[in-house]
Amino acid sequence: MIKGVIFDLDGVIVHTDEMHYQAWKRIADRIGVEFNREINNRLRGVSRMESLNIILESTHAFSDEDKQRLADEKNAIYRQLLSALTQNDVSGAVLQALNELRSRRVKLAIGSSSKNAGFILAQIELTEYFDAISDGNNISRSKPDPEVFLIAAEYLGLAPAECAVVEDACAGIDAARAGGFYSVGIGDASGYDRADMRIGSIAEVLKIV
Ligand code: G6P
Ligand code: MG
């Protein structure tokens, strides 16, 4: 029985995945490295530095210091984009689903690899909706490692088997499965056959609680 739902943030609760893309695109164009939406899909759920390593996989021209500078620069551009975010950027379907889950007394958590998760939740005024937040600040391994979801479940006081994980990243579905969670693929992961359930709209999460 599902007693808790752990949501990924970027690309599930709010479309900050587009802002990640815009920020990385600015960096890639400036340094003359190819970057497109297909490559961007591989960055879903992956930490900032691992994302940069994927973007730079065809070149060895950058030292570790260069990479740190590029990652910091990307984050500054990204934070600038995030500062314009408001609750209007959250879809009615997401708000409705969260409200319905709460009224059914289902415990809710965020499980995100992002170090900006707290800032994003404050911008979209959803911090109070979640009983627990596990993010890039409390993990040492990013998805597909299950650490971020295992910590979220622990914060909720639930076993992995009692929680569903809703993810738009294939790496996130792999992480959920590795941790023993019920995995739900949405968006980019809605066609991923390793997900236990694939959904086209967040309202479908209500079917499993
Ligand atoms: C999420 C996103 C990734 C991003 C990662 C780190 O998992 O899906 O695309 O790279 O968070 O985000 P951050 O905000 O810490 O750079
Ligand atoms: Mg995501």
Would residue 8 show up in a list of annotated catalytic residues for this protein?
yes
Q: Are strands 132-134 and 4-7 parallel, antiparallel or unpaired?
A: unpaired
Q: pLDDT at position 65, please?
A: 98
Strand partners, 7: 110, 166
User: Span 167-195, mean pLDDT?
Assistant: 98
Q: How many CB atoms lie within 10 A of CB 90?
A: 18
SS3 103: helix
DSSP assignment of 143-182 equals TTSSHHHHHHHHHHT--GGGEEEEES-HHHHHHHHHHTPE
Active site residue 89: no
pLDDT in tens, 199-209: 999 999 999 99
Average pLDDT over residues 107-131: 98
Nearest ligand 1 atom to alpha carbon 20? 9
Q: Which pLDDT band, with edges at 50, 70 and 90, does 96 fall under?
A: very high
pTM equals: 0.97
CA of 1 to the centre of ligand 1 (A): 30
Mean pLDDT of 111-121: 98
Q: Residue 32: what pLDDT?
A: 96
pLDDT of residue 128: 97
4-7 sheet: strands from edge to edge: 132-134, 107-111, 4-7, 163-167, 182-185, 197-198
Check residue 27 and give its pLDDT. 98
